[in-house]
A and B are shown apart, each in its own frame.
Chain A
Amino acid sequence: MDKSTILFRQIHPKFFKKGRILECAFDPFDHNDISVYDGSKITAKESYNHYKNTFNLESIGVAGLLVEECEQTRVTVTLAPSVKNPAHCLIDFSNIPVKERRLKVMRLCLLANKRGLVYKP
């Protein structure tokens, strides 16, 4: 993927407070990856509408991370298109030791917060 491509992450309302995106928004929890949208195929607003309408899930807005920022954090970005979501990508933490994943999540969160929400309905 192009390093300059922006990836869109939907932010759950409980992971956004006083204008800050919280770490949990980028935490894979019990999984190895988190889902994002490929910004070269969809806009932030379209990704928000797609998420709400297709999956019927809550989002308070959309955060953005560059592929380059993910690579600098040493997490992998992979294309994972599906019928329901052709713009689907994954930020993959599986090559990071479990104990260090939190540090990567924190870095991604701080990077996203530098940009702020790229779309807020």
Chain B
Amino acid sequence: MTIEKFWSPRYNGKRFIDHTLPIDALRDLVALKELLDRLAVYHFKQQNNRKRMPSSFFSNFSLNLQNVAEGSAKPVLVILLTSTILNIQASPAYMAYTAAKNMIIKAINQADADEQITAIPREYLRKFDKIGLNLQDDEAIEFAPNAVDGKKAIYTQQTRKKLLQASSSPEVFTKNVVLRGQVDEVNAKGMTFEFSSLAGGKISSSIPDDFFDQLHKELAFCKHGGYVVITGEARYSDSHLETITNIISVDELDDLDIFVQLKDLTELSYGWLDGETGLPLDKQLAHWFEQRFSSFFPDDYPNPYLSPRPNGGLGVEWQIEDKAISFNISQKSNLVDVYFVDISKDKEDILESVDLDTEQGWQSIVALLNKEGHKNG
């Protein structure tokens, strides 16, 4: 067997520093292989002016992942030729795959530099939809980490988006999602389900076999006013959610889920308190709070109870047994006074001017919750 080292993309990011690669990354390699196959065929036909591929082109030829190199998570792609050909590099397939690799590197560099993407015909660019789907905002794949010209073909979510925007169907893209909403209908015959997202929009999606029973159960839960969160992948068209393409988990949301509570409060009718008094929660304020809460409040602490204020503001409070911590938010300021009371110990305190726009501000609330034993578990 003859082995030739072919390509060594490098993953950069906190998740990869311990010499390991998340299993998710293997999906990148599968998608990358598909793109290489397509471009190799394209290149071969172009170079040889042929309409059909020779039957021997792919035989005894495969791309194999050899290992994750020491020092960094660096999957080394190795082409294995199982024929008796000694000079791999002279084989038409090797030359076509090398050309395909160079096309990909050049296209990523073009996207990275905001240049027009000419290295790959636009009909093939959609393949990037499946490459790097799970990359986080602070992660990248260097497809040419040792490029002598310094053009490392750095692939990020931004690069991916640019490549997809240059494709023949630029409006369609897939991304990882966490969708909150309600299951409205489960169609056993067609194995589809209807889902109303809290963010807006009702969509129809296929049911993976292993989720049929659970989605059926969640349908009953949602009919009683419950909400679920679906984690997985979804396809968007023109920034609108089109369909859920893969489900990883479906979980019932707690009544105190922040998104659910905020949505409920923004939908209050005018005069909700007594027929005359009471504004619905201001939508901008709800969005601002949701953003800050999601960014700065740790998952392993209990969610607060949210209540509407008659002036369109928001009451935020944690209550556990004889203790309570609370503050009010209005449209006027990001600074709040946080109040604490423990009636069993006759203790009370006020943290003044806590800035909810900063992590430090939220940390002071968390510290108070921690001190007073409000942490889960």
Chain A residues at the B interface, C-beta cutoff of 8 Å? 12, 14-15, 17-18, 20, 22-24, 27, 29-30, 56-57, 99, 102-103, 106-107, 109-111, 113-114
Would you list 29 pairs from A and B whose C-beta atoms are within 8 A, ordered by A residue?
A15-B307, A18-B255, A20-B305, A22-B315, A22-B317, A22-B319, A23-B307, A23-B317, A23-B324, A24-B307, A24-B308, A24-B309, A24-B315, A29-B310, A30-B310, A56-B275, A57-B275, A102-B326, A102-B337, A102-B339, A103-B339, A103-B341, A106-B348, A107-B343, A107-B348, A109-B324, A110-B341, A110-B343, A114-B322
Quick check: B350 and A99 within 8 Å, CB to CB? Answer: yes
Quick check: A22 and B307 within 8 Å, CB to CB? Answer: yes
A72 to B164, CA, bound (A): 67
Chain B residues at the A interface, C-beta cutoff of 8 Å? 255-256, 265, 268, 272-275, 305, 307-311, 315, 317, 319, 322-324, 326, 328, 337, 339, 341, 343, 348, 350
Total A-B Cβ pairs within 8 A: 68
A18 to B256, CA, bound (A): 8
Most B CB within 10 A of own CB, among A24, A30, A99, A107? A24
A102 to B316, CA, bound (A): 12
- In the complex, which of the residues A14, A20, A27, A56 contacts B319, with contact meaning CB atoms closer than 8 Å? A20
Quick check: B341 and A107 within 8 Å, CB to CB? Answer: yes
Q: Which residues of B contact A18 (CB under 8 A)?
A: 255-256, 305
Q: Which residues of A contact B308 (CB under 8 A)?
A: 14, 24
Quick check: A17 and B256 within 8 Å, CB to CB? Answer: yes
A103 to B347, CA, bound (A): 10
- Give me 19 other A-B pairs in contact (C-beta within 8 A), A17-B256, A17-B307, A106-B324 excluded: A12-B273, A18-B305, A20-B319, A22-B315, A22-B319, A23-B315, A24-B309, A27-B315, A29-B310, A57-B275, A102-B337, A102-B339, A106-B326, A106-B339, A107-B341, A107-B348, A109-B319, A109-B324, A114-B322
- In the complex, which of the residues B274, B319, B322, B339 contacts A57, with contact meaning CB atoms closer than 8 Å? B274
Q: Which residues of B contact A20 (CB under 8 A)?
A: 305, 319
Chain B residue nearest to A22 (CB atoms) is B307
Chain B residue nearest to A13 (CB atoms) is B272
